[in-house]
Structure 1
């Protein structure tokens, strides 16, 4: 009898299906739904009762069949619960309230241990409010998958997890969004418990778990996980990186992914890494690696991703990295690599032709030289980031061969020359950044005609606009940008069609582009819905702005230094920055500006033609920090409605026609630091409430009609650095108390009606004596240590203490009646740049030591009673600075000194 059976193929197929159904533990489905076991249902309900559920995610946990509850999975044959997946469905929204709304909290109940066949437990991205991970989880020995990441646990990782001998995946990633992003709350002082998982665990993530207490054996403990394929130890406070493996370990031979980023090793790259020949991904970002890149990387033939960014590596980028056949992603940014990249790029192009490399980031290193033509051989490259180096020359024309390129960033280099037209072949290019280089030449339609995918375009060169756009004024491009930033390039004078059709913009910067045209109102209307930033400053744009537009997302707009005219734009926006300065705007400010723009922090409207009163509604902007209305035509009185809740620290309403008195309420502003009201028509006294302005640093009230005596309480303003009160009608003497102002660098009381002697205590101005740094807070004002008492009725002599003001740069006592001699040791004022003693009653000789002040640039001694020979060492050639002194002689005056007098050495 023939024992060989001829079996049909259908028999084998049926037999395999039968075996599969016997072995596979299926989850419940609609077609064959298991019935919940009552004891399992009760265990789940007890578990639920211990949880908080603000969003009602567990509302389905109420029916009789627990296998149909949301997040619960049962074995199809046995009906036992084998899976609980309660991860936060809003885990991608961790940085806003939606994440919290979907978070479970409370306590994890031990009833889970009654689920004897539970193999999958995911409680990730919830908020357990820094409770400890329950020890009893280590008794659910059926677990194969455990995920507790992003769930705000704290304390010691329980060693009982080492009992889970079947566990294949363990995720304890402990970064939390409930407090500071980088606070570490979870720790494991001894990793010995991992030995219990040695024969099962393939995935381990302990990111943000402190392993500081694990000591120097952390790597030995981890290396016993003989089946481990993926290891993540991101930011674990590991301070030592062994340079060799313990001989007793399994050496992680199967490891495919290793992430040790954001620790602090201060070490060279250890050689044992090159024995991990199964590695596909290696992340060593921000671990303070030092030295050069070892040739040992050539052993990692399977490596696809290598991140060595933000370290202290140096030397040239070696060609060995170009020899890795599978390399797809390479990041060497923020190191100290130097030299050229020709050898590395040549290795990539020579050995692989169409390279597998997809992303290359070499940002903020010290690389130099030109980019080689071999760059174009990286035909599959999608991301190229070379920003922040010292590359020179042009972009190689071969870049047009990189057909897959999506991002090209060459910003912040020293590249010059022309931008090649071949750039226009990159149909996949989404992000093009050519900021801060030295480009020149012309950009044509051919540079852009095929850039169909372009969404972000950033380009800037030096301020001379040596790069010019020459595209047809009616050309409509194939791209619709979301971000455009062009600076110091010539686009104008017209506002071209290729800009007018950009209707998807969310960020616009066109700075110093030579546009001298009107911008159609329709363009502002098109971009209003989506734009978040609008910067058009330093052009010559003319015309008016559209009124009554709503910009729901606009955070800042700067239209300064143009030729806009017409009324203030009544735009409804949540912008915090409003810059309209240096234009021709006119009319009044809207009384409801606090309604139109309720979140304004900085308002700069200076150098326009605004008229009318300054609206009191500005007081309603409690978040306002700076208000600059300088050089307009505002009239009426200043608002008197300021509140203690305001954040305002700088007010500049100078050079207007504001009248009335200075409001006493200004000093209820708790942060007021800068007050500039000069060149107006203010009258009356300085309010006594100003002595409460404890934080004020800079005051300029010059060019008004203020009267009265200088208040002695000025010395109480301990932060006062600048006091300018010129061209008013203050009278009386300068109070001695002013000498004790501890921070005063600049004192200008010129052109008033002050009388009496220069205070003898003036040498007590300690800020000028010690040369403390001056806060140069204002972009258009030069701040230097100075005293100006000119144009008053001062008399007496120069007090000796003035020579103690070592760092004084400007001293002006002109047009007074100060007498006596110029101090012979005036050279003690070694930083003096300007000295004006003209139109006084000084007598005696010009001291020889005056010539020893090397910093002196301006001198005026005219119209006094000085006598004798002008010191030859004084190099000033203008005779007008000495005229009006009948007894002076010598160059540069035409009056010659007698021969006898020429031989006298003056003190």
Structure 2
């Protein structure tokens, strides 16, 4: 066969010929889907990479000859030119460790400018640590998309960005999440925007400081006539022009966000010329005045957010209900008032209403909820909380079949809850707390709530709202959050509660439950529960002894009838309240292991015995230890050290013996120390003078001895000093007069002698009435005792051996409300100017040696409610103006006469004879 013919007939010849033909038809045939890049552009990318720090290996693929296959790089399939760079942080959970590691750092090399065909550049959510936006970016004139948001740029936005005449999307959102703190990106001159006027559709300059842009800022933005979306969130804009020279220039605008600025103006009318608007955000702008009727022009509006302006007032106009496309409406946190009937009636007329979200919370809206509420059949979120609505939940609520969240909390609703509520199969979150509900809740209220996860339901303490559910009823829902307060659920612990085994938050306070709670219920919720509050019921029985609560933060079982030993629950709870129960036995010696994160423990009013475990010294975060009114014995732990945050100790009314530990004096935060009504002995340790923040010290009812310590003058914050019913001797130290915040001084029932120091007028808190609320709150937080809620400025020196006269200086304590110096050895007369103590409520001078007449001015103290002058040497007639007619107040004064004593005065005898 001819050689030429043989070559023609070989298969390889035909294959090669076919490939040649295909190349003629399609020049790109055979090229890889990511073509090998241009070498000069590859070098530019490598130079750019070298200037950056990458902690997560995002640049690991940036090697080899084909840059078009590198992560974040896209080339044109035909020309192999780099057209896209996307180096956005792949982790968008800001402030997380993964986000911070994912941030590129370093500088942006000008080599990027060599990419002459680059149309897309995204460097967002990185950390350039205050770097200025490079000017060379303004020379990449092929850019259509530029995103530099949240990458910690600072300084002035370069005007050269105005050269990007093809740019369609520009995102300069400047909120920074850098470890180095916030950086300020600013634009003092917006003239460069005119260069983008024929192309830009999306512009986000949130958090860019525009305060230097002057009053023409709005005109500058309006020159970009192609804009569809403009976001100027938190830009420090100080004014909102009420007019716009050419509002038609923004006629394409669909999204406008001016939120979190200080606009301080009414809503301007030019807005209503932007008839393409779909979303309008004006929250936190300090807008004022009423909501204009001009909103009726914005027929395409889907989202309207006017929340948190605080100054918007008047009624909600019904025109908002006529907007056919409105899906999201937030008017919360304003001064809107009146009823909402007309507004909701408009929605009911608008049969095709598509409203999905409605928030009118935190206003001054009033009246009842209209039946037209049920017309919002597409509504998923309804928040009417923190207003002044009254009446009942309307029966039409059952028509709102799409509702997922209903919040009527913090109103004045005093009616019933409609049974139709039970038809809301999509309802997830129900919040009806802080109203004054009444009536009965039945099975029909809950029967179809299959999606319910959260319920808040509280009313006034009189429990006018009753649950009347079948005892064996099992509901269709499994709750994760339950808060019911002051409603009658009990006396049994019903089945519908027993089956709730997915709870992570439990509050059943004052619900009338008197039953025992099955152990299985506690164990069923143990894995997820964070709050367990069953306070103010009458629940009885013992608690399960060993349970693990890995997420529990707060335990409050107070004011019940629980009994048995302290529960050995392993938990990370920071607050434990078991007070006012019948718990008994000793506290676990390893309490520090069981509850290592304990900050506050309230066990008062129980029957605990044994010693207070020294392992409490190992709970370094402990702040409050309240063990009042138990049967603890032995000595108080002596192992405290300086690292502790312990600031409140109440172990009063126990059987604690031994001396007060010196180590208490090293607690840097100690503020409240209540050791009264125990069997402590010895002297007050001098180390307590180091507790400079001590506000309340009560050591009364012990066996303490020695003198009243003079170092109390160092305790400048001391509000209450009670050392009553001990065996202190010596005189009242003059240094005590120099405690500037002292409001309560009780040294009664000791063996103190000598006179009352004349410097007592230096107790400036009592003399001038300085505020005591902070210190009162501190002691109440620790004790929860009513006796400390109404404590008043008082001095009690009764039951000692104090001698001398009442010093005239004491009359300078003009805010004194209780003065008791009874059962002493004082003499002299009662000061004639006693009425200068014009706020005095109790005065007890009994069982002394006071002589002379009862001052007439005593009758001028209108606040005086209790008076005792008995068993002295007073003489003369009892002033007629005195309102106290109990003879026991005056007995034991042989030379006193007149009413209410039976002994008549001589002048009365003469007058009766003349008559």
Aligned ranges 1:605-754 → 2 under 5 Å: 605-754=603-752
User: Which SS does the other structure have where 2:826 is aligned?
Assistant: strand
Residue 885 (str. 1) matches residue 883 (str. 2)? no
Residue 69 (str. 1) matches residue 93 (str. 2)? no
Native 8 Å contact 2:324 2:352 kept in 1: no
Aligned to 1:317: 316
Q: Whole-Å Cα distance in 2 between the matches of residues 634 and 180 of structure 1?
A: 52
Aligned ranges 1:93-242 → 2 under 5 Å: 93-178=93-178, 185-242=184-241
Q: Whole-Å Cα distance in 1 between the matches of residues 47 and 534 of structure 2?
A: 62
Q: Whole-Å Cα distance in 2 between the matches of residues 591 and 155 of structure 1?
A: 61
Which residue among 256, 265, 269 is the counterpart of 1:258? Answer: 256
Deviating above 6 A after TM superposition, structure 1's stretches of 4 or more consecutive aligned residues are 28-31, 901-904
Residue 379 (str. 1) matches residue 377 (str. 2)? yes
Native 8 Å contact 2:248 2:273 kept in 1: no
Native 8 Å contact 2:129 2:180 kept in 1: no
Structure 1's unaligned 5+ residue stretches are 1-20
User: Which SS does the other structure have where 1:578 is aligned?
Assistant: strand
Native 8 Å contact 1:184 1:209 kept in 2: no
* Distance change >3 Å, CA 443–CA 832, structure 1 → 2: same
TM-score, length basis structure 1: 0.94
Q: Whole-Å Cα distance in 2 between the matches of residues 448 and 409 of structure 1?
A: 16
Q: Whole-Å Cα distance in 1 between the matches of residues 256 and 737 of structure 2?
A: 66
Q: Whole-Å Cα distance in 2 between the matches of residues 286 and 260 of structure 1?
A: 9
Shift, 1:104, TM fit: 1.8
User: Which SS does the other structure have where 1:619 is aligned?
Assistant: helix
**How many equivalent pairs are there?**
877
Native 8 Å contact 1:751 1:792 kept in 2: yes
* Distance change >3 Å, CA 180–CA 620, structure 1 → 2: farther
Aligned to 1:396: 394
Q: Whole-Å Cα distance in 2 between the matches of residues 869 and 309 of structure 1?
A: 72
Native 8 Å contact 2:746 2:796 kept in 1: yes
* Greater alpha carbon shift after TM alignment, 420-429 vs 131-140: 131-140
User: Which SS does the other structure have where 2:417 is aligned?
Assistant: coil
Q: Whole-Å Cα distance in 2 between the matches of residues 902 and 652 of structure 1?
A: 62
Aligned to 1:330: 329
Per-residue CA distance 1:664-723 (angstroms, 9 max, x = gap):
111211111111111111111111112212111110000111100112111121111111
CA RMSD of aligned residues (A): 2.1
User: Which SS does the other structure have where 1:408 is aligned?
Assistant: strand
Aligned to 1:32: 33
User: Which SS does the other structure have where 1:753 is aligned?
Assistant: coil
User: Which SS does the other structure have where 2:249 is aligned?
Assistant: coil
Aligned to 1:772: 770
Q: Whole-Å Cα distance in 1 between the matches of residues 313 and 764 of structure 2?
A: 48
Aligned to 1:7: none
User: Which SS does the other structure have where 1:490 is aligned?
Assistant: coil
Per-residue CA distance 1:644-670 (angstroms, 9 max, x = gap):
121111111111111111111112111
Aligned to 1:827: 835
* Distance change >3 Å, CA 31–CA 394, structure 1 → 2: farther
Shift, 1:109, TM fit: 1.8
TM-score, length basis structure 2: 0.93
Residue 293 (str. 1) matches residue 294 (str. 2)? no
Q: Whole-Å Cα distance in 1 between the matches of residues 568 and 107 of structure 2?
A: 54
Shift, 1:255, TM fit: 0.4
Aligned to 2:584: 586
Shift, 1:101, TM fit: 2.3
Shift, 1:591, TM fit: 2.4
Native 8 Å contact 1:340 1:369 kept in 2: yes
Q: Whole-Å Cα distance in 2 between the matches of residues 180 and 824 of structure 1?
A: 70
Shift, 1:372, TM fit: 0.8
Q: Whole-Å Cα distance in 1 between the matches of residues 664 and 281 of structure 2?
A: 56
Shift, 1:423, TM fit: 0.5
Native 8 Å contact 1:354 1:378 kept in 2: no
Per-residue CA distance 1:143-193 (angstroms, 9 max, x = gap):
111111122222211222111111111111111223699x56111111111
Native 8 Å contact 1:869 1:901 kept in 2: no
Native 8 Å contact 1:869 1:902 kept in 2: no
Aligned to 1:868: 876
Shift, 1:412, TM fit: 0.5
Q: Whole-Å Cα distance in 2 between the matches of residues 22 and 394 of structure 1?
A: 75
Native 8 Å contact 1:184 1:208 kept in 2: no
Q: Whole-Å Cα distance in 1 between the matches of residues 353 and 703 of structure 2?
A: 77
Per-residue CA distance 1:273-310 (angstroms, 9 max, x = gap):
01101000100001111111111111111111111111
Q: Whole-Å Cα distance in 2 between the matches of residues 547 and 66 of structure 1?
A: 66
Aligned to 1:15: none
Aligned to 1:85: 86
Native 8 Å contact 2:672 2:697 kept in 1: yes
User: Which SS does the other structure have where 1:439 is aligned?
Assistant: coil
Q: Whole-Å Cα distance in 2 between the matches of residues 878 and 63 of structure 1?
A: 107
* Greater alpha carbon shift after TM alignment, 63-72 vs 672-681: 63-72
Q: Whole-Å Cα distance in 1 between the matches of residues 147 and 613 of structure 2?
A: 58
Which residue among 275, 279, 282 is the counterpart of 2:280? Answer: 282
Per-residue CA distance 1:714-741 (angstroms, 9 max, x = gap):
1121111111000110001111111122
User: Which SS does the other structure have where 1:888 is aligned?
Assistant: strand
User: Which SS does the other structure have where 1:209 is aligned?
Assistant: coil
Aligned to 1:540: 538
Q: Whole-Å Cα distance in 1 between the matches of residues 449 and 77 of structure 2?
A: 54
Q: Whole-Å Cα distance in 1 between the matches of residues 910 and 691 of structure 2?
A: 57
Native 8 Å contact 1:118 1:143 kept in 2: yes
Q: Whole-Å Cα distance in 1 between the matches of residues 624 and 411 of structure 2?
A: 35
Per-residue CA distance 1:742-801 (angstroms, 9 max, x = gap):
111111000001111111221121111111011212332132111100000111110010
User: Which SS does the other structure have where 2:521 is aligned?
Assistant: helix
Native 8 Å contact 2:130 2:183 kept in 1: no
Per-residue CA distance 1:404-436 (angstroms, 9 max, x = gap):
111111110011121110010111111111011
Aligned to 1:522: 520
Aligned to 2:57: 56
Native 8 Å contact 2:152 2:183 kept in 1: no
Per-residue CA distance 1:620-659 (angstroms, 9 max, x = gap):
2222222211111222211222121211111111111111
Shift, 1:29, TM fit: 14
